[in-house]
Chains A and B, each alone.
Chain A
């Protein structure tokens, strides 16, 4: 029986630009089930990143609702939203966004550490994932000493180590060459199969779209098609 990880209901996000109202999302209804490997595709300005921000409790909708599991995000305090992001959602960003003063290992264990996980358990999980994504032996390096692909792998380990129900990845391959991008998406797909973690991507990269189990096409802030 399927389990709903994420659900939106009539989601609108409107920005005010001077006198102009820009509707980045217009009534999006989306349900994500456990174990999905979903790609939100569409051209620039279609609303992919805006939707991802709403799904990740990083932004507040103008209208509509977001549910993570059974939890309704509207009305939650900033602190509760921070705890929800920490405990239930993993993030992978386009620009890697590692903390420059922490080593690859320290970056990877960061969220586990914030959760209060014991050191030996953190080490076990991070070492295991670093090994899986080909970063074994690079834990002591700082982000500036790693290539873009390696940094993005560290970001993936950081997102997956706490074993969240959901990983949201915003254009994770946009800054990578095609070979690295393909390898990275394959690794995430393998982790999706192996660990059962739900992945939702935003991308217009063919390498990512080709690997999707489910493809949601956005246009002008609305779902245009699903496959």
Chain B
């Protein structure tokens, strides 16, 4: 072990009580930071999964530039389905068009989603969220439609009612008659008020896209794989457009980015304050050792060694306490991630939205590796920065004056 490391380690132990108080402060802040990250990431994960499984998918494959205003059938759909299968994603083919929906109580422009009901059953939240009626039933005569609860209330629709969908086909207005067989409540006003789901062939016939699909919603088992899967699909499908959920649902993506940035800023402020506590502790410790540093300089120690010792002391203290705080936080977040937090019982609220999507009953905190390690790296970095001035001060002590210091 080098002399600097040995001296730094023993100096940390030398003022055990002061080191312990500083370490507990840092560890406590690290714990709070990781718990906050865990809870917020858990809530993002939940609403992103809801958004992905209620429409967008975690990753979307579509024609370049296509959207609801200018829809286009995916040209290389078979190749795209194969590419999604190769990255272990669940491929959910969909048609997605703006249509006019007219019931007995009124008419509104809605997003019509043409789906394969069985494929959706394993990947989408819509079947599970269908709280009235059922997720598509064939009576052989009239096509089924499953609609959002808000849309149903706004238009006075209930189970068994007729709903006529109209859209343009080859310059002519085309219509299809459906019967409402199910009503879902996803918890997002956007989805529950504007989405009407029919079988894909029904919508295909309405808009003139028989057998086609506008997009493939790729649903993943692991949300952390989104970026990697999107990269792989982009490489495999150069003629198609591949979007992540954040790009496909920009309002939610922007919300998560903004929320993360706000949280990171508050962590920065928190650890800025912790850095002041570290600065104070290290300055005090340098001041107390003025005589000792003076003697070391007198006998020929180069100032650089003292500088290194002081920086190492601060870095060690930060590393030890960061590790301690991180281990405890990891254990608590893992436990909460297992049992869940009943946010409604704790808050007393009846509804909580994150980025426009309602949180389900329980929240399952989790710590994504990249954000966790990036946040943790902040702590020793700030601790070393905070120790720069005291370390520099230690090298500026005039030996003769220092040795008179008691």
> A residues within 8 Å of B by Cβ?
53, 56, 58-59, 78-79, 82-87, 89, 91, 93, 95, 97, 99-102, 106, 110-111, 113-114, 158
Contact of A59 with B302 in the complex, beta carbons under 8 Å:
no
A97 to B403, CA, bound (A): 9
A-B contact pairs, 7 of them (CB 8 A): A79-B303, A82-B300, A82-B301, A82-B303, A97-B292, A100-B292, A114-B299
The 0/1 profile, CB within 8 Å of A marked 1, for residues 364-406 of chain B is 0000000000000000000000000000000000011001000
Contact of B301 with A101 in the complex, beta carbons under 8 Å:
no
> B residues within 8 Å of A by Cβ?
3, 6-7, 10-11, 14, 291-292, 295-303, 305, 399-400, 403
Contact of A99 with B300 in the complex, beta carbons under 8 Å:
no
Contact of B292 with A85 in the complex, beta carbons under 8 Å:
no
Contact of A58 with B291 in the complex, beta carbons under 8 Å:
no
Known: A99-B292, A110-B299. 19 other contacts (CB 8 A): A56-B298, A58-B399, A78-B303, A79-B303, A82-B302, A83-B300, A85-B298, A85-B299, A85-B300, A91-B298, A93-B403, A97-B295, A97-B403, A99-B296, A100-B292, A101-B11, A101-B14, A102-B7, A114-B301
A59 to B403, CA, bound (A): 12
In the complex, residue of chain A having the shortest beta-carbon distance to the beta carbon of B401: A59
- Residues from chain B with Cβ under 8 Å of A113 in the complex: 3
Contact of A100 with B300 in the complex, beta carbons under 8 Å:
no
Contact of A93 with B7 in the complex, beta carbons under 8 Å:
no
- Residues from chain B with Cβ under 8 Å of A158 in the complex: 299
Looking at the assembled complex, report how far the CB atom of B301 sits from the nearest CB atom of chain A, in whole angstroms. 6
Contact of A101 with B10 in the complex, beta carbons under 8 Å:
yes
Looking at the assembled complex, report how far the CB atom of B19 sits from the nearest CB atom of chain A, in whole angstroms. 13
Specify which of A82, A84, A102 is in contact with B297 (CB 8 Å cutoff).
A82
- Residues from chain A with Cβ under 8 Å of B299 in the complex: 85-86, 91, 110-111, 114, 158
A111 to B291, CA, bound (A): 17
Provided the pairs A58-B400, A93-B295 are in contact, do residues A79 and B302 lie with their beta carbons within 8 angstroms?
yes
Contact of A59 with B400 in the complex, beta carbons under 8 Å:
yes
10 closest cross-chain pairs (CB), A and B = A86-B300, A101-B10, A97-B295, A85-B300, A59-B400, A58-B400, A58-B399, A53-B400, A82-B300, A91-B299
A106 to B301, CA, bound (A): 14
In the complex, residue of chain B having the shortest beta-carbon distance to the beta carbon of A98: B295
A95 to B50, CA, bound (A): 72
- Residues from chain B with Cβ under 8 Å of A84 in the complex: 300
- Residues from chain B with Cβ under 8 Å of A102 in the complex: 6-7, 10
- Residues from chain A with Cβ under 8 Å of B11 in the complex: 101
In the complex, residue of chain B having the shortest beta-carbon distance to the beta carbon of A88: B300
- Residues from chain A with Cβ under 8 Å of B297 in the complex: 82
Looking at the assembled complex, report how far the CB atom of A180 sits from the nearest CB atom of chain B, in whole angstroms. 21
- Residues from chain B with Cβ under 8 Å of A53 in the complex: 400
Instruction: From B6, B295, B296, B298, name the one whose CB has the most chain A CB atoms within 10 angstroms.
Output: B298
- Residues from chain B with Cβ under 8 Å of A110 in the complex: 3, 299
